[in-house]
Structure 1
Amino acid sequence: MRGRLGTLLAASALVAATAGCGVLDAPPGPEVPAGCGECTSQVADLVSDLESSDSVRSVRSTRRQTTTDGYLGVAVDLAGKDVVSADLDALFDSVAEAAWRSGVTPLDTLSVVGTLRDGYGETVLYDFGADRTSFEDRWGKRPQGSEWTPVSEDDDDLEGCEVDGCHELMRGVAREASALPGVTAVVRSSYGRATPTNGSSADVDLMADDAVVVDDVVEQVAEIVWRSEVGPIDYISVKVETPNGGFPDVIDFQINPDHGRDHDRLEQMWGPRPAG
């Protein structure tokens, strides 16, 4: 068990653009249709629709990008109270459906950052381009004139939570953690896929009262994750913040079965994991 900052640092790759550097050149990506470009008016219409809906209290920000595909990011304050009582699937899907029916095109990827009233937040990605047929089955075809970026045929060999982030499983972890003595709120419960510089992780951030023993509540939360179907994961990261505790406590458990130094100890305590 060790402490670390929960911030993931993104590394930037620098590629020379001069002649003779062809060995470093990346293969060309798919051609993104022109569509409505920045789609300023279309995004504004979408924001207006969202803020008039019952599911959204306010729209914090939007971000449009068309470098590799038609991407739209939307950050919203959702109408739900907390992870225990809110129907998060319905709340997030209401935002996604509004975007699907909007005039923003191309719209291959939608990222929705949603925050509930108690501060709990998560990010849900909608891969409209790759899963186009399934979304058409749910909400019908996109508006006439909508364009699509060709979908890459690359196979990433993803498994388990790497495919969809296991949002419902992580919400289950949050609901169980919310019921622990001394826990006043769970503000994040998310799965992080492995990157070239970081292992895969299940991350849980919570607020607790001053009476809790931080190490005890951290191990209780780690046990909830351990016994869940969330996987594959190399780390369980738990952050606890108390009203008068100063900086939050962040504790990681290294649980990779091959080289995680906490794996054997936790397996002796809690038995084998149901997921890798």
Structure 2
Amino acid sequence: MSTLYLTQQDSVLRKEDERLKVTLKGETLLDLPILKVSQVVVMGRVTVTPHTVAALMERHINLTYLTEYGRYIGRIEPAFSKNSLLRRAQYAAAFDEHRTLTLARGFVAGKLANLRVTLLRAARNTDGLDVDDAVEAIRRAERRVETVEDLDALRGHEGEGSAAYFGAFGRLIKADGFSFGKRVRRPPTDPVNALLSFGYALLANDLHAAVNVLGFDPYCGYLHADRYGRPSLALDLMEEFRPVVVDSVVLACLNKRVIQADDFAVSLGEVHNLT
């Protein structure tokens, strides 16, 4: 099963029999069996009929809403899992400082390792590029993570590794018309940051859906502090996959000229959005 992304503005998604149909002004754009869909992501002005929403919920298919430019708005989820024993174990681990640190350390260690590997792989595809300084800084952060004794220090070492990584990230971009100075999130101020933010939003949505299906509480995490409305567990799990799932794809799209500079629109001064 796969995720269905609806990006055609003013289109309509409706269920007919056991199929999902996307139409625009009476023309069918897509027609597929509902059993092939694991979740639906709506971007912008797309209508999902009430009957279709109910059908998605009955089949435990998440429905997520993003703006036309990829900013997360919200989601409609099926009823929460009935596996209370699993969630009890999850909460017990969250209240145990040692287990929380152990889990959080694993998330950060995986992230740092993938940051390092992503840099090295990308550098191999770029003649004469030297990222040894950033790789060594990430390795130092990895060694410190192994012996860290509290969450704040762990987050600090994660930040050190990420800073070294993004300090070298711009060197990996070979395409004309794109540059990257630093990671800027809210809001992204250049096309590369816009692509990264968009990719991270999609990845977070996928992981949110996955932990919900498995019966975990997406809002109870270990590395990310609890905050009302924040899916901390999904964000914890996302850390390890950011560089290999999102960053690598962004680099490939830019360096292979799949995405061009004129694919972006500027709004509110310096905010870059995908058109």
Q: TM-score range by the shorter chain?
A: under 0.3
Using the size of structure 2 for normalisation, the TM-score is 0.25
- The structure with the largest helix share of the pair is 2
- The structure with the largest strand share of the pair is 1
